[in-house]
Amino acid sequence: MHEEKIGEKLGKVVVRYEGGRVEPLQFRWGTRDFRVQFLNAHWTDRATRPIRFFFSVTADSGDVFLLSHREGDPVWYVESVIVV
């Protein structure tokens, strides 16, 4: 198991907005589509402007991704991946 720093824009993200919360459901990284199996954790970095939101998710591939987006920006990023 190892972590790879990525820092790339995601091509597509499907999210659920419910009760004031955002939850990623699936995403496309490069040419591969991933379905989120588990939302492991989420947190907000309020020290940055704009505010950044982070989501640790386990995909259907078994890999753990760190996803993020900035407040007011529709673009999502894959920050890193832990390959199992």
Kindly report whether the global pTM for this prediction surpasses the value 0.75.
Answer: yes
Question: In percent, how much of the chain has pLDDT > 90?
Answer: 85
Q: Give the per-residue pLDDT at 56.
A: 98
C-alpha 19 chain-centroid distance: 19
Own/partner pairs for 18-21, CB < 8 Å, 24+ apart? none
Q: Give the per-residue pLDDT at 5.
A: 96
> Each residue of 37-62: pLDDT tens digit?
999 999 999 998 999 999 999 999 99
Q: Give the per-residue pLDDT at 41.
A: 97
- Order of strands across the sheet that contains 12-18: 2-9, 76-83, 64-70, 52-59, 32-45, 21-29, 12-18
- Cis ω for the linkage preceding 50 (within 30 of 0): yes
Q: Residues 73-79: what's their mean pLDDT?
A: 95
